[in-house]
Amino acid sequence: MNLSGRNLISTLDLSPEEVRGLIDSARALKAGEKEARLAGRVAALVFFNPSVRTRISCESAMARYGGSAIAVQPGKDTWNFECGEGVVMDGNTQEHVRELAPVITRMCHFVGIRKSELITVGSAQGAATGSYDELAKDEFLHRFMEFAEVPVVNLESNRWHPMQSLADSTTIVERLGKPEKKKYVLTWTWHPKSLPVATPHSQLMSAVNLGMDVTVLRPEGYGLEPEVMRLARERVEALGGSLQETDDQEAAYKDADVVCAKAWGSLDYYGRFEQEAIDKAPLRDDWIVDEEKMAKTGDGIFLHCLPVRRNIVVTDGVLDGRHSAVKDEAENRLWTAAAVFDALAPK
According to CB under 8 A, which residues from 125 to 154 bind a second copy? none
CA distance 311 to 72: 34
Contact between 285 and a second copy by CB under 8 A: the answer reads: no
Specify the DSSP element, H or E, that contains 340. helix 326-344
Backbone φ, ψ for residue 340 (5° rounding): -65, -50
Closest separation in Å from C-beta 41 to a second copy: 8
Contact between 56 and a second copy by CB under 8 A: the answer reads: yes
Closest separation in Å from C-beta 316 to a second copy: 6
x/- string (CB under 8 A) for a second copy, residues 60-99? x--xxxxxx-x-x-x--xxxx-x---xxxxxxxxxxx-xx
Closer residue to a second copy in complex, CB, 136/260:
260
CA distance 106 to 149: 7
Tell which phi-psi region holds residue 40, choosing left (phi > 0), alpha (psi between -120 and 50) or beta. Answer: left
Name the amino acid, one letter, at 66: G
Contact between 330 and a second copy by CB under 8 A: the answer reads: yes
Name the amino acid, one letter, at 11: T
Among 131, 292, 321, 327, binds a second copy (CB under 8 A): 327
Closer residue to a second copy in complex, CB, 69/232:
69
Among 31, 33, 40, 286, binds a second copy (CB under 8 A): 40
Contact between 38 and a second copy by CB under 8 A: the answer reads: no
Closer residue to a second copy in complex, CB, 201/333:
333
Q: Interacting stretch for a second copy, rule CB under 8 A, among 157-165, 220-228, 269-277, 301-309? A: 301-309
Return the beta strands (E) in the chain as ranges: 42-47, 68-72, 81-82, 95-96, 110-114, 152-154, 183-188, 213-217, 242-246, 258-262, 301-303
- Residue 264: closest CA among 53, 58, 130, 116: 116
CA distance 175 to 179: 9
Contact between 308 and a second copy by CB under 8 A: the answer reads: yes
Closer residue to a second copy in complex, CB, 40/226:
40
The answer to whether 301 and 259 have CB atoms below 8 angstroms apart is yes
Positions touching a second copy (CB under 8 A) are: 40, 42, 44, 50, 52-53, 55-57, 59-60, 63-68, 70, 72, 74, 77-80, 82, 86-96, 98-100, 102-104, 106-108, 121-123, 192, 306-312, 316, 319-320, 326-327, 330-331, 333-334
